[in-house]
Amino acid sequence: MFDGMQRRVVSMWFPRLGSDRVLRARPVEGPFALTLKQNNAERLSCLNAQAEGQGLHRGMAYADARAFCPDLITRPADPAQEARFLHALRRWATRYCPWVGLEGADGLVLDITGSAHLWGGEGEMLADMRARMARAGVSVRLGLADTRGAAWALARHGEGVAPPGAALAALGPLPVAALRLEQATSVALQRLGLRTVADLAAAPRAPLARRFGPGLLLRLDQASGAQAEEISPLADPPHFGVRMALPDPIGLADDVMAGTERLLSRLCARLKAHEMGARVLCLTLRRVDQGSQQLELRLASAMRDPHRILPLFRRGVEGIEAGFGIDQLRLEAVQIEPLPMQQLGHGGPPGQDGLDDLVTRIGNRIGLENVLRFLPADSHIPERAFLIAPAAYSAPENGPWAAPRPRPLRLFPPEPIAGTGARPPKHFRWRRMAFAAARATGPERIAPEWWLEDDNWRSGVRDYWQVETLQGRRLWLYYTPQNPGWFVQGEFA
């Protein structure tokens, strides 16, 4: 607050925040509501004006609402999206003043002290807020007073403006619920005959404190201004972007790399201060003809070491079209991840910087999702004992793979061969080649996982054998006792 200035606070309440968010993207005609599951029952959580005009209200059971209004159109509520929408409105509201905070899940509070004159006065500022919200399709109710509590009460229980120094007088006719009290407290006060704020302010304070505790009088004092109540604006998330304007245009790849090196040093220092690492970097090169080119670098792991990142830009920089010259460079970390400090030296985690850099180089040519690694899976079924995952988005398995018996290096779908009996055939043909078994090791019986549906294992258990042939091939065969037959499924190195 500025010294010598009367504090002024605006409360913005969005009574239909959820439904307005949905209807902005997909308008509908007629009654509309959002439903939310509460206590194993679907209930209305937010309604438009037409639905409220049909007698529906928040908290109403969905089945009852359909009985009252058969034409009701509903969509499931998304509290996370509504919260993001409210945060977007908070950023928008900073155009009026820098001190903007959240007021519950459907409101904002603005400390406009010293800012109203920039809009021609308080009335003009409020009119501009209403007009912009109406054009955006968002319902809003505004309250303006000297205190946060009074502004909240006016926005929700009697939209209006309290003159400076007259907050309590403006709140007098409003119900006691306007003081942000619990519902049980409001009902109890009404039963005592204290129905309005004026009635409560005129009542003796000592009996009220003994019966309802200090919270009731605190809310009253906050609304009247006798007790201070601060407004805590949300801090904007850190922006990881740096830029450089050049006095003379450049066009050589070495000059662009030199500028990128300076930007990387500044960006990585900012990332280190917040213990973050970049996963996707975007280098924007603006030419003197106002055209621009972008180079996107996707990293295999979160990084903030400029000496490792800089060489990865070389291939992209060498392919740019400088035209008449480049006069501005901008580098931004468009995707970041937490990267806490790690101990270096003895006892620290084993480094794999070289592998990550190699995956980055290959991935930026063929796509990071196409560089794969094998990971162990908790299954004794051979074809389910491993997973294939992108190397850039998975961690390697440091420990040894757990396998009861040696597994073949190559695994393929089962291929039938001719054979009878429970022991491997002495002679058989596979892939148009004749083989003679020299030694067989086994059997290893593997039963199907009955809790999973798999057509390949409908034949029942399998008895696996390691067969060494006279031709030098080491094959993995199995026999199905319940449906007699022999198959080849793998080959050892």
Q: Residue 225 is which amino acid? A: G
According to the model, what pLDDT value does residue 350 have? 52
pTM of the model: 0.62
Instruction: Name, in order, each residue with C-beta under 8 angstroms of 59's C-beta and a sequence gap of 6 or more.
Output: 43, 44
Tokens of 137: 């399709």
According to the model, what pLDDT value does residue 478 have? 95
Q: How confident is the model over 405-414, as pLDDT tens digits?
A: 788 989 999 9
Question: First vs last Cα of the chain: how many Å apart?
Answer: 77
Q: Which H, E and C letters describe 80-100, residue by residue?
A: HHHHHHHHHHHHHHCCCCCCE
Give me the count of residues in the chain: 493
Q: How confident is the model over 420-456, as pLDDT tens digits?
A: 899 999 999 999 999 999 999 989 999 998 888 888 8
> Looking at per-residue confidence, does 394 or 218 come out higher?
218
Give residue 408's Cα distance to chain centre.
Answer: 41
Distance CA 111, CA 115 (A): 9
Q: How far is CA 300 from CA 303, 314, 361, 396, in A?
A: 9, 17, 9, 13
Instruction: Please report which confidence band the pLDDT of residue 459 belongs to, taking 50, 70 and 90 as the band edges.
Output: confident
Q: How confident is the model over 174-188, as pLDDT tens digits?
A: 999 999 999 999 999
> Looking at per-residue confidence, does 341 or 440 come out higher?
440
Q: How confident is the model over 81-115, as pLDDT tens digits?
A: 999 999 999 999 999 998 899 998 999 999 999 89
On the question of pLDDT at 132 being above 90, the answer is yes
According to the model, what pLDDT value does residue 304 have? 92
Q: How confident is the model over 293-337, as pLDDT tens digits?
A: 999 999 988 989 999 999 999 989 998 888 889 999 999 999 999
Tokens of 165: 């120094």
Q: How confident is the model over 347-381, as pLDDT tens digits?
A: 444 556 788 888 888 888 888 888 888 888 888 88
Question: Smallest Cα–Cα separation from 7: which of 233, 235, 157, 230?
Answer: 230
Instruction: Please report which confidence band the pLDDT of residue 10 belongs to, taking 50, 70 and 90 as the band edges.
Output: very high
The average confidence (pLDDT) of the chain is 89
Percent of the chain at pLDDT > 90 equals 64
Distance CA 175, CA 157 (A): 8
Mean pLDDT of 207-235: 88
Least confident of 134-138, 339-343, 397-401: 397-401
According to the model, what pLDDT value does residue 348 have? 45
According to the model, what pLDDT value does residue 409 have? 86
